[in-house]
Each structure stands twice: as structure tokens, then as C-alpha cells.
Amino acid sequence: MLKQFFSLLKRYILPYRKYLTWALILNFLSQWLNVFSFMAIVPILNILFKIDTKSYEYIPMDIHNLDKDVLINNAYYFVSNFVATNGAFYTLAMMGGILIFMTMLKTAGYFASAAVMVPLRTGIVRDIRIQVYNKVLSLPLSFFSEERKGDIIARMSADVTVVENSLTSSIDMLIRNPIALLVCFVTLFSVSWQMTLFVIFILPLTGWIMGVVSRKLKRQSSTAQAQWGDIMSQLDETLGGLRVIKAFIAESKMSARFSKTNNDFRDAMNEMIIRQSSAHPMSEFLGTCVIVTVLLFGGALILNTNYAPMDAATFIFYLIILYSIINPLKEFSRAFYNIPQGLASMERIDMILKAENHIVEPEQPLPLDAFTDKLEFKNVSFSYVEGRPVLNHINLTVPKGKTIALVGQSGSGKSTLANELEKRLVSLGKHTMLLDGDNVRMGLNKNLGFKEADRIENIRRIAEVAKLMNDAGLIVITSFISPYVRDRRNAREIIGDDSFIEVYVSTPVEECEKRDVKGLYKKARTGEIPNFTGISSPYEAPEHPEIIVDTTGKILEDSVNYVMTQLEDQLN
């Protein structure tokens, strides 16, 4: 299990190495401060209970004469001198102050080590989410036909959340706790190696018990996460096929199916949570058993007058350090319960991350520099999986669309002609899109007015939209006044000269004014509408239009027939 966990960390931890380094340093510092703070308890106990009546002499210290016994002797020498000079109570107060100060440093180290791990934990989860999302974008459509969409959503949401709550929260535990155990065992060995060997002998039994439970938890977690995916899939199927369900009066059947899946998920979660809840009491019980066993063993040695490896105060210090091991062991047990749950979710996520993409991109694809005329597919076959063709010997020609730009003054007949042209082209099997001044001004360009700058921007936006539609193979019919030559020239450059067909509806302004059904010319003559094209603002006729049509005195059908005849060669 731990091998899988560290293998997973290797995939994501490299960008966050600096946080890991600081966490190691701060954890080492805080754990040694923890030991030193407890060491102050030994002289406090000796003072309170007057256990140690030995007289100490100062031993000179240098690099060649520096060991544990010398340090302890000199520490007791200074404490006994302080007691003789200031009394036992002031010495007790001083040692209590040292304990408080060391504890403050220790807790500050704990906080710093936890805070420095936050960017690492959140960064790993962010990277997993981004990696899963990008993988989903790159997978072929066949993957999503084989995997239910609800299950994929569950893996991207619920499983990633489980990884965040279990694996990443365990990273801190698996950094801090080994350091705590290492420091504690070094201290225990320095106090009594015999008793520490006895502790090491009985600890593996507790580890084996917790390992058995954690392996069962992983199996239960995998089952629960799979059932959560089934719930999401059923919900997605229900929302997507609600009309079919209601049409066949299948509400009760679907409800019973969902209830069964939900109850199965509840049962699996009950077993998993109950087993997970046993982590803390089990570790505490096993830890207490270890402490009592050591207490009996150490007590027997101390009560033995022939051989006592330490005095009573030091034995209490030993037990305190030994009890300090219980918290890291509890955290370890919690991690051992959380990690299997996270690994089970990561396995489900890896089913997406490690999914094979059977579509292999060519090493040297032929470039498509521009779409100028048409795209033609000849005898094309394609399959996501060998032996299961999706396309089989397909022949298809997609011509590039054209833009038929009808321009002319208001009332010249542009919109009427454009509507009829669209109907005629559709009847011939052409795919068209009509962009008229009125509907565009109510949507895409509703924030534009009729000043010169707004009119320029109006035509530019229309040209960009028409170009996109041409690339999709549509014939775009536009109907706009577009009074300035430069705007029409700019539109031609955007769309492309080979796709731009300019139709100038050249109906004279006098005829247009007679057809003034909206009363615009009348308002322009009275000054109610300023900058009106043809009255108070000039209209620049096209320089070289592909088609010119004057609708004066003609019926609509004649004008449409004429334009269709002129377009025949350009659209084929």
C-alpha cells in the first residue's frame, strides 16, 4: 500500500519539493524541542519528591570529553547549585518557565510545518483535476460511448474529493510522524536500550492488526466509489431520457432501480465508515497495552535492587516519551485507514488518465494552409477500435461558402430581394444564413449607433461572422446599406475576394423615397433623423460590384431570376 502511495506522490510532488524540504526541517526542529521540553520534567520531579540527594561536581567539557553522562551530570550540578542558592520553589518555577518556553517553540514549529504543507496539498489536487480534465478533452468519442457519463463525472468530482481528503491529508502525517518516531526512538535508546528493544519487539503486532483492517477498508472503499458512480450514471440517464420514461410510464420502475442502487451505496458506506471509525479507539487501545506492558517490564527492573537501569524520575520521562509515540501511531493508523480509500479513488481516476487513445496522429501530417475552394473526402474509412468501423468508404464534398452582400440605399429592395434569394437557394439544396440589418442591430450590434465609427464597426463585425459561416460551408446573404466604399473594401478583405460577391441594388434615391413605408425619408427631410444616408449623409456607390440590379419598375421574380442567373457560375 505504501509503495503505491509513494509511487503516486512521485507523479505529482516534484513541483513542490521546496515545501517538502521546509516541512522536513521544521518537523525535525519541533520534535527535538518536544524532547527537550519533556527533559525539564526530570529535575522538577527530583525537586518535588526529593528523590535525588546525590552531590554533583562540575566536569569540564570539551570536544573530546562530551557525552550523555557528562551533560546530565553538569545539568544536575547547575540545578542543585540553583536550588542551594535560590531555594527549591524558585528552581521549580524556573524549570516550569523553561517547560512553557520550550512548549511554545515546539507548537510554533508544529504550526509552521503544517502551514508550509498547505500549498503542496492543494497544488497536488489542482494538478490532478487539470490532468483529468485535459485527458477527457483528448480522449476519442468512443471512450464516452463505452463509459457512462455519470460515472465519468463521479470520478472527476467525488473521487478527486476523496483523494484530496485522504491522500493529501495523509502526506503531512507521513512526513511528521516518521520524524517524530525517529526522534522519540533515538531518545528512548539513549535512556535505556534494553527497554527500547523490548518495545520494538511488541510494536509489530499492533502494526499487523492495523494493516489487516486497512486492506479490508480499501476493498470496501473501491466498492462504495463504484456504487457512487452507478448513482451518478442513473441520474444522468434519467435526466437525459425523462421524456421516454414518462412516455412509457416507467417512473415506478426507475424509482425502484435508483432506490436499490442508493441502498447498496448506503450499506457499503456504513461498513466503511464503521471500520474507519475504529481507527482511533483501536490505536489508543493498542497503545495503552504497549504502555502498560512497558510499565510492568520497566517497573520490575527498577524495583529489582540488583539492577536498575534508571531512577524513577528518568523512568517517568521514558514513559512520557514512549507515550509521545502513541499520537504519531494514531496518525499513522488514521493514514493507514485513509490511504486505501484514496488509492481506491485514484485507481478509478487512473482509468481515465491511463485510458488509451487509439487515434494516432500522423508524424508528418499534410498542411492545410487555407480553405479556398472545397474539402473533398474520397473513400474514407475510420474506426476507433479495429474491427468496429464508424465510417466505411465515405465520399463527401464540402464546398466553401460564399457571402452574397446586397448593398444599396434604404428602400432600394435589398431585404425583400435577400429573403427571396434565400428561399430560392434553399430550394436548390443550398445551406444558407441571412444576416439582415434589423436582426443584427437587435442582437450582435445592439450597442452600436449610427455615427460613422459605429457604422464601420457594424460592417466589420458582420464580415467576421460571415467569414466564420463561410468556412463552415454556408452561403451567407447580407443586406446592409453600407454607404462607404472603404467599409465594403474592408469586408471583402476579411471574407476573402474569392468568397465575396457584391450585389449593388442600384435603385435611385427618388424611387426609394417613394417606397418609404417606414417614413424614414420624411423624418430625415424634417431633420428628425440626422445623418440619414442619401439625404443628409452621402452614399458612395460600389466601384466594381459583381452584380448590379435596379428594381425600379420590376416585379420581384424578375429581379430574383436575374440575380440567380448571375450567381449560377459563382456558386457552382
DSSP H or E segment with residue 196: helix 193-240
Apex 252 CA angle, 251 and 258, nearest 5: 90
> Do 512 and 412 contact (CB within 8 A), yes or no?
yes
**189, burial (CB in 10 Å: exposed 0-12, middle 13-18, buried 19+):** middle
How far apart CA 424 and CA 404 sit, in angstroms, is 14
**Identity of residue 450:** F
**Identity of residue 232:** M
Residue environment code for 277-293, b if the CB has 16+ CB neighbours within 10 A, otherwise e = ebbeebbeebbeebbee
User: Which is nearest to 31 in space by CA: 110, 101, 104, 99?
Assistant: 110
Cα distances (Å, whole numbers) of residue 266 to 1, 149, 224, 273, 447: 26, 22, 8, 10, 55
Packing angle between helix 193-240 and helix 279-303, nearest 10 degrees?
180
Q: How far apart are the first and last CA of the chain?
A: 68
The yes-or-no answer on residue 482 being catalytic is yes
> Do 500 and 477 contact (CB within 8 A), yes or no?
no
Residues facing 501 on adjacent strands: 404
How far apart CA 339 and CA 7 sit, in angstroms, is 13
Sign of CA dihedral 220, 223, 229, 234: negative
Cα distances (Å, whole numbers) of residue 516 to 412, 510, 513, 524, 536: 10, 10, 5, 11, 16
User: Which is nearest to 334 in space by CA: 164, 173, 172?
Assistant: 173
Residue of 170, 192, 233, 482 marked catalytic: 482
How far apart CA 216 and CA 279 sit, in angstroms, is 13
How far apart CA 459 and CA 445 sit, in angstroms, is 10
C-alpha cell at 42: 526530570
DSSP state of 400: P
How far apart CA 154 and CA 499 sit, in angstroms, is 47
DSSP state of 164: I
> Which residues are annotated as catalytic?
482
